Amino acid sequence: MSDRLIDRWVSGMASAEDRAELCELIEKDPALCDRLFRAAERECDLAEFFRGLPTISTSAPAPVRPTRIRRAVSGIRWLPIASGLAAVLTISVLALHLANQRAAEPAPVVVDMPRPRTPAPVVAPASVPVETLPVPLAVDEHTTLAEVFAEVFAEAAPEQPNEPSASASTSPMPATLKTTATTSKPTPPVLLAARPKPAAGVQHIDRVDGDLKDAEGNLVMRYSLRAPRATSERGNDLGLLLCFHGAGGSEQWLADPMLNALRAQGDVQMVVAALKSKGPNWTVEDESNVLAFIDWAKRTYSIDPRRIVIQGVSNGGWMVSHFGSRHPELVAGVVSLCGGNGFEAPVKRPSNAGETGFEYYVVHGTADEDVNVKNSRTLSAALRANGFRYVYRELPGVGHDVWGDERTRSDFAGWLTRIRHKTMPLPDADRKALAAFSTRDDAERLLLTDDGASTLVRIGGLPAEKILVRALRSKNPQVRATAARLFGRTAGMPGAAKLLAGLLSDKDVGVRAAVITSLQRAADWNDQDALLGLCRFAGARTNSAGERLNVVRALTASFTFRCSPGTDNQLIHELLVHLLDDEDISLRAAAIDTLPTVEPARFAYDPAASTAERREAVNQWRRWYRDLFAPTDEKSDPRR
């Protein structure tokens, strides 16, 4: 078995031909299963089992990149008992694999995806363990703090589809376009067959690699697509994520990494389609073909037209910013990863672009030698100047491979699941669903049910948030807390953060906990109203020290990841410098631990020192802030 096949399989980039070749080699030589086993990073349960066994190596285990797994694992020599267990597992799995091959059917093959468990610890910021928060943010005397935060983004468990769908080749499509598609199994390692089959709550993902052709049989677009298997009850509720490769790439590059990133957010409710340009690179000539593919996808799958997001890497990043600028009526969001600046400002700048235009997510590494980071900085400045809502991440020291950063993929996967087109009308089915919330009593009753909450999250955008705004004024604290939680899972009203910030003074501690979490998530994605509300709350000494510390930790959980150059993050810098002179030592310590390392030795600041002893260091930090940013006006001062 060639090293090339192993590396392509481990990295998720193996083609259908590569997987077929692997299967043939395994049948000829069963011992090759052992090499696949040692290269299988995805076998988390087996890796966990062997992790506790002693090894000859004395070095501490460290995570390795997929392309290095084969070399890393080949250096490990397990004890005889481990080798025996591996041999037994390998033989058993090979037998299951051969049996499965003989029992194969011609129907489309699907991948069983277990329902992800609700990640309660992730609800609060990763660096803020909920059990250490100093103030018990409980809904009532019987509810623990962990339960309050676990509920903030808890989602209803998905139901297993009742009936499999027909293959992609039998799906309806435009009369002028035809598709030649092959539905194939992603072919995970053979050992995956030995895993117990998941019970209820399984989501089926169809993989389709195909060619879209016009009526004359001419190739329009080559694609690789992943789609949740539809059911007869499903309406237009799936998003569509189109992935554009970099220069010289193919349609096999991005579909699986993005599918895995979406899985980490919960169940996949999006069709992920990686596209191939006409030539080696994307150009303006590909625009009409992309339009044809979008039209075909909307007719073939249960696509919600309000949930179309385009994502591109490098040359593909240029293409998505260009395409989005040219077709704002189609696109809800644009993700540009280390791409060129293809943004075209509107001829007439809209007065409310933040409320009507599509949204941007831009990422670039400062050490990129292929596409200079200035491209993304210029793009962000143009978006800000034209009033668009955007997120900009700049990764220090990272080169032209930002799409390989797991933190980045997870962040923009969470971002794009919230995005909805701001001006496109709702489908009839969604309008009827929202009609059930028309009265205050009905809205509050439905809001407290799993079905009602999931309906609002699925529809999202301005229509859903109008209902949540009314719920924020409810006399029932449970309704207010639920509405505040759901605001963190939708994105539609630019002014929503101002409304939420008003509830930071709510008498109910559970409501305040939900508000803080939702505002922190919005602030992470560059909502300046959310950031201002949290900074003002944390900077006011009249508020509870425990809750202030909770807010500071929430804001600084991803400080280095979020705080790119520019004025977008001026408020949080000002807050941290302001807290250096706070009367609470825990707040002072949190602030100095988050501020950047500067010479000489952070100005010799000691959070445990007295006010007089800290004065000189605090003054130096204030001068540092004034040099870093222009003066903050009175409106944005978090101390007021």
DSSP for 254-273 reads SHHHHHHHHHHHSS--EEEE
Secondary structure element (H or E) that encloses residue 242, with its range: strand 238-244
- Neighbour-count burial of 278, counting CB atoms closer than 10 A to its CB (0-12 exposed, 13-18 middle, 19+ buried): middle
pLDDT score recorded for residue 9: 57
Q: Quote the CA–CA distance of 596 and 85 in Å, as a whole number.
A: 49
Look at residue 354 and tell me if it is in a domain: yes
Domain boundary among 104, 127, 157: 104
Query: Is the domain of 183 the same as that of 100?
Result: no
CA pair distance 9, 3, nearest whole angstrom? 10
Assigned domain for 458 exists: no
Q: What is the DSSP string of 317-363?
A: HHHHHHHHHH-TTT-SEEEEES--------SS--TTHHHHS-EEEEE
Structural domain contains residue 394 = yes
Tally of domains in the chain: 3
Is the bond preceding 125 in cis, omega lying within 30 degrees of 0? no
* Residues 232, 350 within the same domain: yes
- Is residue 390 a contact partner of residue 359, using CB atoms and an 8 Å limit? yes
- Are 84 and 183 in a shared domain? no
Q: Is 21 helix (H, G, I), strand (E, B) or coil?
A: helix
- C-alpha to C-alpha distance for 212 and 99, rounded to whole angstroms: 35
What are 210-222's pLDDT values in tens digits? 999 988 889 999 9
220 and 97 fall within a common domain: no
In a domain, 91, yes or no: yes
Q: What angle do CA 71, 191, 409 make, to 5 degrees?
A: 65
Q: Which value, to the nearest 10 degrees, does the dihedral of the CA atoms of residues 519, 521, 525, 529 take?
A: 0
Are 384 and 262 part of one and the same domain?
yes
- On the CB side of 36, CA atoms within 13 Å amount to 25
Residue 471: which H helix or E strand, with range?
A: helix 461-472
Task: Look at residue 118 in the predicted model and tell me its pLDDT.
Answer: 34
146 falls within a domain? no
In a domain, 432, yes or no: no
pLDDT of 121 reads 33
Q: Are residues 96 and 227 in the same domain?
A: no
Same domain, residue pair 218 and 327: yes
Q: Do residue 91 and residue 221 come from a single domain?
A: no
CATH of the domain at 345: 3.40.50.1820
Q: Looking at residue 527, what is its pLDDT?
A: 85
CB atoms near residue 454 (< 10 Å): 15
Residue type, 474: S
pLDDT reported for residue 564: 58
Whose CA is closest to 113, among 244, 334, 266, 318? 266
State the pLDDT at residue 351: 59
Calpha distance 452→445 (Å, rounded): 8
Residue 86 tokens, joined = 């591996």
At 386, list the tokens. 């034209």
Distance of CA 317 to the CA centre of its chain: 17
Decide if 124 contacts 130 (C-beta within 8 A).
Answer: yes
Question: Do residue 100 and residue 222 come from a single domain?
Answer: no
Residue finishing a domain among 363, 381, 416: 416
The answer to whether residues 256 and 387 belong to one domain is yes
Sign for the CA dihedral angle at 282, 283, 287, 289 comes to: negative
Same domain (yes/no): 291, 408: yes
Of 43, 69, 104, the residue at which a domain comes to its end is 104
pTM value is: 0.65
> Would you say 408 and 363 are in contact if contact means Cβ atoms under 8 Å apart?
yes
- Closest residue by Cα to residue 4 from 17, 24, 18, 20: 18
CA distance 458 to 454: 6
Please give the helix or strand (H or E) that residue 27 lies within, else none.
helix 16-28
Q: How far apart are CA 230 and CA 303, in angstroms?
A: 11
Length of the chain equals 640
Q: Note whether residue 438 is domain-resident.
A: no
| Cα distances (Å, whole numbers) of residue 600 to 230, 312, 617 | 61, 41, 11
Same domain, 94 and 183: no
Q: Which residues of the chain have pLDDT under 70?
A: 1-14, 16, 19, 23, 26-28, 30-203, 230-235, 267, 345-355, 492-494, 558-568, 597-601, 630-640
pLDDT reported for residue 384:
86
The reply to whether 425 falls in a domain is no
Tokens of 115: 């329902």
Question: What is the per-residue pLDDT for 363?
Answer: 92
For the chain, give the longest Cα–Cα distance: 82
The pLDDT score that the predictor gives to residue 381 is 87
Structure tokens at 264: 């980490």
SS3 605: coil
Domain range for 223: 179-188+201-416
SS3 label, residue 238: strand
Residue from 21, 12, 404, 6 nearest 186 by CA: 12
- Beta strands 333-337 and 270-276 are unpaired
Q: H or E segment at 133?
A: none
Query: Quick one: pLDDT at residue 418?
Result: 87
pLDDT of residue 477: 95
